[in-house]
Amino acid sequence: MIFAAIIMVILWLLQIVFINSFYKTMKTNEIRKIGNELVELYGTEEFQQELLDKSFSEGIVIHILDQNGSVVYPLDIMDLVRRPRLQGAAFTEFLNQLYTSESDSVVYTSGHDSLDVETIIYGGILENGEGPNYFLFINTILEPIDSTVNVLKNQLIVITIIALVLSMGLSLFLSRRLSEPIASITKSAKGLGEGRYDVEFRKGDYLEIDNLADTLSQATKELKKSEELRRDLIANVTHDLKTPLTVIKSYGEMIRDISGENPEKREYHINTIIQETDRLGRLVDDMLDLTKIQSELRELKMKEMGLFEETEEVLERFSYFKEHEGFDITVRSNGDTNILGDKLKISQAVYNLINNGINYSIEDKRLIIDVDGHENQVRFSIRDFGPGIGEDELDYIWDRYYRGGKSHTRNKTGSGIGLSLVKSIILAHKGQVGVESSPGGGSLFWFTLPRNLKE
Ligand code: ADP
């Protein structure tokens, strides 16, 4: 509306308020131009012709006067009879203006004798060095333009009203369409800021707002997910920390009250305490590892290494399970399994996957590991025959701190960090991870690493 108002004010100023001075300036310039041209041409051959041409142009009257004010041009029959002179007062004014002027010409306005109009007068001196000088006198009536201005004024009133009404309508429309959706989204975003994850972001107004609403909805979803994970983590961690602590405390009490004197029992109880402490230590290590490894992943120490050999090395750490817990672990290799990778990190990924295989195998304790070299990549996979993973969980198991509820059968303090580490490590090596699993059907975890070997 302000914009429309400014345009209207400019129009009013130009068309109504200043139109008279505009008109006057225009006319003055026009007449000065003609006068100067004639003064310039005086004494040349074209002067006569030009004088005639200009004399007949509309709205201007040209006279040439002699020193007495008698008209020497135009001289037609009527003039000869009357030999008119420029009226005394007017001629004096004319001469005065010319004499006081700094240049050879002058333009001034003067009231008309009988009519209520102004005339613009040009005065110039015609000199050619020989004979007496003459005066060039041009005048034109400054025609009143009041009636035109009135017409314009009426038009402008109508235009102003239309412009204001239109701009008011437009601003209402725009504020509806632009501001309202933004206000609504702001309100929802405030709700989100207060922790309400069920807020809805209004869509359907225009593309940009729809995009914003989509982005915010996505952010809400992510926030909700990480909030749930955070809650789960606290629940899990407190539970996992609490259990070993309870065990440690009760065994300590037992040593104090009962088994202190009995070396065999005491030994057993002390061992349990040590085991539980180890378990607690592992849990804390896992959590520290995650932050440490994730910062280390930014600078991988890439070296040539054989993935198969690495797997065998890692497996040695699990020999206890083979020998004492009845695990049957098969490792098969096919093709060249050399890759360029950070040995420590890759072995950590392999370790985590084998560790999960062992932790989640209950009755069928077979594990089959395949390390296959393909043309551009090497693929590692481990198959177990444990409880498997439900479809609804498959998307989440790679998330940090996510721990499946039902499949947790072995009495192991998991932190939900293992798989997220595997994923971070493999992705940092520009590889891929995946899992095929169904409840009751066991699981097959795999990753691939690009060879990255220089030719
Ligand atoms: P953690 O094992 O410490 O709970 P992980 O990140 O290693 O954490 O695993 C996340 C979840 O994925 C586990 O809680 C479990 O539910 C599921 N999972 C991982 N590996 C297996 C597997 N081999 N068989 C069945 N479920 C698994």
pLDDT at 412: 53
Using CB atoms within 10 Å of the CB of residue 431, give its burial: 0 to 12 exposed, 13 to 18 middle, 19+ buried.
buried
386 lines ligand 1 (CB under 6 A): yes
For residue 402, give the ligand 1 atom closest to its CA.
Answer: 10
Cα angle value 143/145/150 (rounded, 5°):
165
pLDDT at 381: 97
356 lines ligand 1 (CB under 6 A): yes
- Between β-strands 134-142 and 60-65, what pairing exists: parallel, antiparallel or unpaired? antiparallel
389 lines ligand 1 (CB under 6 A): yes
pLDDT at 57: 74
* Element at 155 (helix H, strand E): helix 146-174
Q: List the chain residues with pLDDT less than 50.
A: 406-411, 455
Nearest to 385 by CA among 363, 418, 359, 415: 363
Residues 6 or more apart in contact with residue 163 via CB below 8 angstroms: 4, 7, 8
Most ligand 1 atoms within 8 A of CB, residue of 348, 362, 403, 443 to mutate: 403
In this structure, what token pair is assigned to residue 245? 């602590």
pTM: predicted TM-score of the whole model, two decimal places: 0.49
H helix intervals, 297-417:
307-316, 319-324, 343-359, 391-394
404 lines ligand 1 (CB under 6 A): yes
pLDDT at 284: 81
pLDDT at 166: 93
DSSP string, 61-113: EEEEE-TTSBEEES--HHHHHH--B--HHHHHHHHHHHHH-SSSEEEEEEE-S
Q: What is the pLDDT of residues 353-404, one digit of tens each?
A: 999 999 899 889 999 999 999 999 999 999 999 999 988 888 888 887 677 7
- How many whole angstroms from 8 Cα to the centroid of ligand 1? 73
For residue 404, give the ligand 1 atom closest to its CA.
Answer: 16
Amino acid at 251: Y
Q: How many CB atoms lie within 10 A of CB 410?
A: 12
What architecture (CATH level 2) is domain 2-144? 2-Layer Sandwich (3.30)
Indicate the SS3 state at residue 317.
coil
Q: Give the CA-trace dihedral at 300, 303, 307, 311, to 10 degrees.
A: -70
Most ligand 1 atoms within 8 A of CB, residue of 360, 399, 401 to mutate: 360
Q: Measured over all CA atoms, what is the biggest interatomic distance in the chain, rounded to whole angstroms?
A: 161
- How many whole angstroms from 394 Cα to the centroid of ligand 1? 10
* CATH number of this structure's domain 300-450, picked from the four choices 3.30.565.10, 3.30.365.10, 3.30.450.20, 1.10.10.10: 3.30.565.10
- How many whole angstroms from 410 Cα to the centroid of ligand 1? 11
419 lines ligand 1 (CB under 6 A): yes
Cα separation, 336 vs 308, whole angstroms: 9
pLDDT at 55: 80
Residue ranges covered by each domain of the chain: 2-144, 300-450
Amino acid at 52: L
Cα separation, 360 vs 414, whole angstroms: 11
415 lines ligand 1 (CB under 6 A): yes
Cα angle value 432/400/451 (rounded, 5°):
20
pLDDT at 243: 77
pLDDT at 21: 87
Q: Give the CA-trace dihedral at 260, 264, 269, 275, to 10 degrees.
A: 140
pLDDT at 455: 46
Residues 6 or more apart in contact with residue 7 via CB below 8 angstroms: 163
Most ligand 1 atoms within 8 A of CB, residue of 239, 397, 446 to mutate: 397
pLDDT at 82: 59
pLDDT at 78: 62
Most ligand 1 atoms within 8 A of CB, residue of 356, 369, 423 to mutate: 356
446 lines ligand 1 (CB under 6 A): no
